[in-house]
């Protein structure tokens, strides 16, 4: 009996130790980012590196907010992210609902082909997109960035929502149709309210994907009028010197909105992913 208790407590201690180690491993980069952002420039180059700050300063944040392109890039990222997310949701909701409710010739093949679109790396798409956008005069425009991000965000969004809609009983929309609702009316008034956890999960995925996208923003923009935050942060890296303090300060500024969104919608995100994976 005592051996069993000893083994049980040993497993518990090992489990907690592993969890604590995982938390430290996950949180340490964020802590180091914040600590570096409030260090004096000379402290960032000490050997060995120090976690504690001797003379904390907010000068890095001042430079980021008032002496760089970060505020403009932040606005650009908001415009591209909101626009791309809105369009993705409209297309994904309609397509996901169609795939989950209607069967037509080639529907299974078309539905499965979405996986190939999701697996297609952005570096393969950038050259044809650049050539097409050059002819359409979409280089260095918000619309060009939004369309480029749609190419990589829509496939998984459709797959996630299709799986979520498949788990919703058809009787709900049939009851709405008996009351006189059309297919679109049943979708908007009945299915979407029930599907909000899945919609929020997809929204968070799309927001995170577009907010941190780098490749398209780097190649499809030419000026700071349209460039997004990842490119603006990269500009703190020079040919010979990297301004670590300002770069980490900008990274903190960029991370705060995403962190707030995730904390506010975390329970919906987890529920949407778990429910949508049942028939995925």
The two tokens of residue 54 are: 């001797």
Q: Tell me, what's the pLDDT at 91? A: 92
> Is residue 129 left, alpha or beta, with left meaning phi > 0 and alpha meaning psi from -120 to 50?
alpha
For the chain, count helices (H), then strands (E): 13, 0
- Cβ–Cβ under 8 Å, residues 217 and 145: yes
Give the 3-state secondary structure of residue 165: helix
Tens of each residue's pLDDT in the chain, 280 residues: 556 666 777 787 888 888 888 888 888 888 888 888 888 877 777 777 777 777 788 888 888 888 888 889 899 999 999 999 999 999 999 888 888 877 777 677 777 777 776 777 778 888 888 999 999 999 989 999 999 999 888 888 888 888 888 888 877 777 777 777 777 777 888 888 888 888 888 888 899 889 988 889 988 988 888 989 888 888 777 655 677 788 888 888 888 888 887 777 766 665 555 554 444 4
**What is the C-alpha separation between 155 and 149, in angstroms, rounded?**
11
CA 51 vs. chain centroid, Å, equals 29
CATH H superfamily, domain 60-276: MetI-like (1.10.3720.10)
pLDDT at residue 252, rounded to an integer: 86
Return the pLDDT at 131. Answer: 92
Count Cα neighbours of 274 within 13 Å in the Cβ-side half-sphere. 6
Query: Phi and psi dihedrals of 237, rounded to 5?
Result: -95, 110
Residue 229 tokens, joined: 């935050």
pTM value is: 0.80
CA 96 – CA 160 distance, rounded (Å): 8
Query: In the chain, where are the structural domains located?
Result: 2-45, 60-276
Q: Which of 81, 89, 100 is nearest to 199 (CA)?
A: 89
């Amino acid at each position: 009996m005592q051996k069993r208790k000893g083994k049980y407590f040993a497993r518990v201690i090992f489990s907690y130790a592993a969890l604590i180690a995982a938390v430290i491993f996950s949180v340490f980069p964020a802590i180091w980012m914040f600590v570096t952002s409030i260090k004096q420039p000379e402290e960032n180059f000490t050997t060995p590196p120090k976690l504690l700050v001797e003379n904390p300063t907010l000068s890095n944040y001042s430079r980021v907010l008032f002496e760089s392109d970060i505020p403009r890039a932040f606005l650009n990222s908001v415009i591209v992210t909101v626009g791309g997310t809105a369009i993705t949701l409209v297309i994904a909701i309609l397509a996901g609902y169609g795939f989950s409710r209607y069967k037509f010739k080639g529907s299974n093949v078309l539905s499965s082909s979405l996986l190939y679109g999701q697996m297609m790396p952005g570096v393969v798409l950038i050259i044809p997109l650049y050539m097409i956008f050059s002819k359409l005069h979409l280089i260095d425009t918000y619309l060009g960035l939004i369309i480029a991000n749609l190419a990589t965000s829509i496939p998984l969004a459709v797959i996630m929502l299709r799986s979520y809609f498949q788990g919703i009983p058809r009787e709900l929309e049939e009851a709405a149709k008996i009351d006189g609702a059309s297919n679109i009316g049943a979708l908007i008034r009945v299915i979407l309210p029930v599907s909000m956890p899945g919609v929020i999960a997809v929204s968070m995925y799309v927001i995170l994907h577009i907010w941190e996208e780098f490749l398209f923003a780097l190649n499809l923009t030419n000026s700071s009028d349209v460039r997004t935050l990842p490119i603006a942060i990269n500009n703190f890296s020079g040919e010979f010197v990297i301004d670590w303090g300002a770069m980490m300060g900008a990274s903190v500024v960029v991370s705060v909105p995403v962190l707030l969104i995730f904390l506010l919608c975390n329970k919906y995100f987890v529920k949407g992913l778990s429910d949508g994976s049942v028939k995925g």
